[in-house]
């Protein structure tokens, strides 16, 4: 597939250079479409072992899917092959096998087997039908082998991850418990949630489970195109979150979009004004009985975010940094929750709704960039939204009553980062979901050290900055001068 992409790029560059006549450019459009379709339709086989996962490309011959035998055996052990006349001899670890070109019969580790199709040798690659793997691999490997030909998935040893479905009514929730950690892609499609396991060896004892319930109706498991998939159907929009170190997925009805609640009444009739902090402790609204921080790793699922390098996408960086920040906060005894703890698709409204449902004192949304270095801290930029006593705030202006506290939080975090001699800047910004969060809220954008993009994934670099941010948050949450939001603070 990479070769197809390189060919496409070369053709595009030639076309953009203006050296190709118009009629040839039209032909190029057709060629690129064919190349793209070919890449999209490329078949592959997923192979799972207890230690690793890998894909191999399949080739269709005479109506059957074929796989290059060394593509399978190479990652599993020491494999070599050579041609001897019309025979192709394979050595794998301590075994020897022999295949005859264009013949269905083969000798695998001294045992005769039927390949259910002729052995093919093309460009030095010996290929057998995928269905033949169920008789060939057990002769070469000591582990149990399960070949799911129609799904194009192969399980070696005890690689499979199983799960159970637990439905809990009042309030409705579906909890999926997995035997090992999973990292699925989760996408919402109307009232359906589609959970795709691209690399995880997930299997299920049954295909469809129906629930006699008004909100969550059914869960359907399927295997196809080298992946596994679980579709959960509801009577209303649903939302899913990972937990228990990515061993559970909890699905609940999505919070309905509604007017934000009014800010709590002031504790004192004439609360003291709050100024931007420097190295002093900042004061923040206390609208909750205890300090709780909700962290929102930006992007996720189908939303990859920015391509920070050829191998690094923003959604992976934001999740890594968010986990580090959670660890730094919990080390200080501050209860912390992640909006997503896996590769999940969430809209800005869903992120805000999940955060508001947790009733946090502080909300932090995390992003990453490749230009510059250090950290940028942002607060929400709102219009002329005024929090009137006793009035509900519009959804998109829920942050208005908390802006003063958000600015104090930003100042406290900036002061702590400055102590680490790390470049830091702050500014208001139009960024969802900040404006819909009813808590003191900031956005944090992390940049690489000294323009070294790989440094973004350095644990040492992450810990130094998240430790400073945790110090800034701790200084605010422990402030004795805390108070409730003041109506009109977003003015």
Q: Which of 175-179, 331-335, 354-358, 390-394 has the lowest mean pLDDT?
A: 390-394
| Whether 418 and 448 share a structural domain | yes
| Whether 140 and 171 share a structural domain | no
Residue 177 inside a domain? The answer is yes
Residue 490 inside a domain? The answer is no
Does 39 score more than 70 pLDDT?
A: no
Residue 395 is predicted with a pLDDT of 64
Residue 13 inside a domain? The answer is no
Residue 48 inside a domain? The answer is yes
Count of structural domains within the chain: 3
More confident residue, 193 or 451: 193
CATH classification at residue 323: 3.40.630.40
| Whether 194 and 58 share a structural domain | no
Domain boundary among 156, 190, 224: 156
pLDDT digit string (tens) for 273-308?
A: 433 444 434 444 433 334 489 999 999 988 899 888
Does 73 score more than 90 pLDDT?
A: yes
CB atoms closer than 10 angstroms to residue 135: 18
Distance separating alpha carbons of residues 197 and 185, to the nearest angstrom = 7
Does 328 score more than 50 pLDDT?
A: yes
- What is the average per-residue pLDDT within 34-61? 80
Confidence category of residue 372, pLDDT binned at 50, 70, 90 = confident
- What is the average per-residue pLDDT within 258-264? 50
Does 321 score more than 90 pLDDT?
A: yes
Q: Which of 19-33, 172-186, 461-475 has the lowest mean pLDDT?
A: 19-33
CATH classification at residue 92: 3.30.457.10
Q: Which domain does 379 fall in, by range?
A: 293-477
pLDDT digit string (tens) for 330-343?
A: 999 999 999 998 88
**Helix/strand/coil for 26:** helix
| Whether 185 and 225 share a structural domain | yes
Confidence category of residue 59, pLDDT binned at 50, 70, 90 = very high
| Contact criterion met (CB below 8 Å) for 132 and 117 | yes
Residue 283 is predicted with a pLDDT of 41
Domain boundary among 229, 253, 277: 253
| Contact criterion met (CB below 8 Å) for 306 and 369 | yes
Residue 269 inside a domain? The answer is no
| Whether 425 and 300 share a structural domain | yes
Distance separating alpha carbons of residues 189 and 240, to the nearest angstrom = 13
Residue 342 is predicted with a pLDDT of 86
| Whether 60 and 99 share a structural domain | yes
Residue 380 inside a domain? The answer is yes
Does 15 score more than 50 pLDDT?
A: no
Domain boundary among 137, 156, 175: 156
Does 190 score more than 90 pLDDT?
A: no
pLDDT digit string (tens) for 192-250?
A: 999 999 999 999 877 888 887 788 999 999 999 999 999 999 998 888 888 887 889 99
| Whether 429 and 332 share a structural domain | yes
Is the peptide bond between 187 and the residue preceding it cis, with omega within 30 degrees of 0?
no
| Whether 331 and 370 share a structural domain | yes
CATH classification at residue 238: 2.60.40.3470
Residue 263 is predicted with a pLDDT of 53
| Whether 87 and 186 share a structural domain | no
Residue 32 inside a domain? The answer is no
Residue 23 is predicted with a pLDDT of 47
- What is the average per-residue pLDDT within 448-455? 83
Is the peptide bond between 433 and the residue preceding it cis, with omega within 30 degrees of 0?
yes
Mean pLDDT computed over every residue of the chain = 82
Residue 49 inside a domain? The answer is yes
Residue 245 is predicted with a pLDDT of 79
| Whether 408 and 457 share a structural domain | yes
Cβ contacts of 161 within 8 Å, gap of 6 or more: 178, 179, 180, 182, 200, 201, 202, 203
| Whether 216 and 307 share a structural domain | no
Residue 244 is predicted with a pLDDT of 81
Distance separating alpha carbons of residues 293 and 478, to the nearest angstrom = 13
**Helix/strand/coil for 414:** helix
Residue 21 is predicted with a pLDDT of 52
| Whether 245 and 313 share a structural domain | no
């Amino acid at each position: 597939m990479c070769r197809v992409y390189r060919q496409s790029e070369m053709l595009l560059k030639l076309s953009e250079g203006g050296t190709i006549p118009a009629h040839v450019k039209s032909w190029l459009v057709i060629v690129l479409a064919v190349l793209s379709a070919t890449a999209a339709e490329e078949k592959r086989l997923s192979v799972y072992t207890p230690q690793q996962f890998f894909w191999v490309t399949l080739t269709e011959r005479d109506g059957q899917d074929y796989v290059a035998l060394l593509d399978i055996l190479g990652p599993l052990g020491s494999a070599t092959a050579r041609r001897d006349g019309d025979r192709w001899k394979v050595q794998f670890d301590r075994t020897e096998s022999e295949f005859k070109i264009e013949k269905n019969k083969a000798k695998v580790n001294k045992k005769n087997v039927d390949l259910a199709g002729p052995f093919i040798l093309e460009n030095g690659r010996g290929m057998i039908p995928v269905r033949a793997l169920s008789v060939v691999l057990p002769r070469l490997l000591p582990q149990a082998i399960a070949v799911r030909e129609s799904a194009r998935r192969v399980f070696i040893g005890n690689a499979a991850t199983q799960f159970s479905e637990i439905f809990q009514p009042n309030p409705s929730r579906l909890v999926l418990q997995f035997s090992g950690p999973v990292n699925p892609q989760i996408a919402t499609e109307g009232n359906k949630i589609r959970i795709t396991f691209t690399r995880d060896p997930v299997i299920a004892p049954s295909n469809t489970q129906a629930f006699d319930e008004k909100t969550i109706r059914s869960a359907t498991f399927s295997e196809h195109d080298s992946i596994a998939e679980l579709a959960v159907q509801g009577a209303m929009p649903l939302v899913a979150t990972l937990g228990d170190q990515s061993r559970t997925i909890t699905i609940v009805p999505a919070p309905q979009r509604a007017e934000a609640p009014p800010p709590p009444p002031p504790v004192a009739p004439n609360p003291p004004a709050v100024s931007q902090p420097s190295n002093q402790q900042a004061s923040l609204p206390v609208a909750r009985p205890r300090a709780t921080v909700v962290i929102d790793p930006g992007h996720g699922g189908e939303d990859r975010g920015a391509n920070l390098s050829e191998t690094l996408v923003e959604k992976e960086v934001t999740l890594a940094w968010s986990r580090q920040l959670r660890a730094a906060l919990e080390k200080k005894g501050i209860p912390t929750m992640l909006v997503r703890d896996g590769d999940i698709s969430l809209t800005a409204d869903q992120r805000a709704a999940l955060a508001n449902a947790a009733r946090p004192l502080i909300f932090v949304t995390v992003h990453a960039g490749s230009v510059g270095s250090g950290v940028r801290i942002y607060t929400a930029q709102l219009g002329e939204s005024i929090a009137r006593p006793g009035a509900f705030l519009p959804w998109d202006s829920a942050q208005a009553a908390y802006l003063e506290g958000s600015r104090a939080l930003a100042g406290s975090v900036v002061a702590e980062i400055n102590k680490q001699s790390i470049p830091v800047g702050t500014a208001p910004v139009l960024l969802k979901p900040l404006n819909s969060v009813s808590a003191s809220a900031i956005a944090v954008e992390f940049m690489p050290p000294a323009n070294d993009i790989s440094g973004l994934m350095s644990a040492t670099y992450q810990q130094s900055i998240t430790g400073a941010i945790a110090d800034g948050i701790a200084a605010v949450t422990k402030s004795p001068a805390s108070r409730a939001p003041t109506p009109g603070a977003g003015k």
